[in-house]
Amino acid sequence: MPKLTPFLWFDHEAEDAARFYLGVFPNSRITTISHYGESGPGPAGTVMTVAFELDGKAFVALNGGPHYQINGAISFVIDCATQAEVDRYWDLLTADGGKTHACGWLTDKFGVTWQVVPDGFIELVTSPDPVTATRAMAAMREMIKLDIDALRRAVEG
């Protein structure tokens, strides 16, 4: 399978965004920063791209100008082992101007959308038992940040 790398287009915040994400995800690093040369299209010497890894997964951020805007049509899911991990990612990604949405979704201060999902969530909402799936889905729709214990209590009735 070919290597797939998410490529995020920013106006001029690529390096700030990459450094922010390094503070959110463990085992992360910037691998390369490239700069615009004399031929542009950005001002010579300014950051063009930032290649970085989030927990070993490759990303590239581009300072491409205002031509395109990041929006919620593309998002990233963070699968969390514990509720404490959900809470940690939620708090870090909503800091400094991030916005929360229903059903475990949030948009960080750079406009990137994430769904922060606790372990066991997918199994509950996709359960072959229609009562379990219906109860889990109804409980999830009432939540902003997902709470796995509350979802399990809802399933139990």
Map out the domains of the chain as residue ranges. Answer: 1-63, 71-157
pTM: 0.92
Q: How confident is the model at residue 52 (pLDDT cuts 50, 70, 90)?
A: very high
Report residue 47 as tokens. Answer: 């950051």
Banded model confidence at residue 157, pLDDT cuts 50, 70, 90:
confident
CATH of domain 71-157: 3.10.180.10
H helix runs in the chain, sequence order: 14-24, 83-94, 121-125, 130-141, 148-156
Res 2: pLDDT:
82
Render pLDDT for 73-111 as a digit per residue (tens, 0 to 9): 999 999 999 999 999 999 999 999 999 999 999 999 999
CATH architecture of the region 1-63: 2-Layer Sandwich (3.30)
Residues 115-138 have a mean pLDDT of 94
pLDDT-derived band at 46, boundaries 50, 70, 90: very high
Confidence of residue 11 (pLDDT cuts 50, 70, 90): very high
Q: Is the pLDDT of residue 3 over 90?
A: no
pLDDT exceeds 90 at position 62: yes
* Average pLDDT taken over every residue of the chain: 95
Indicate if the pLDDT at residue 1 is higher than 90: no
Q: Which residue has the higher pLDDT, 1 or 146?
A: 146
β strands within 28-152, DSSP E: 29-35, 47-54, 57-63, 75-80, 99-100, 105-107, 113-118
What b/e sequence results for 5-21 when a residue is b if at least 16 CB atoms lie within 10 Å of its CB, and e otherwise? eeebbbbebbbbbbebb
Taking the C-alpha atoms of residue 42 and residue 39, their distance in angstroms, rounded to an integer, is: 8
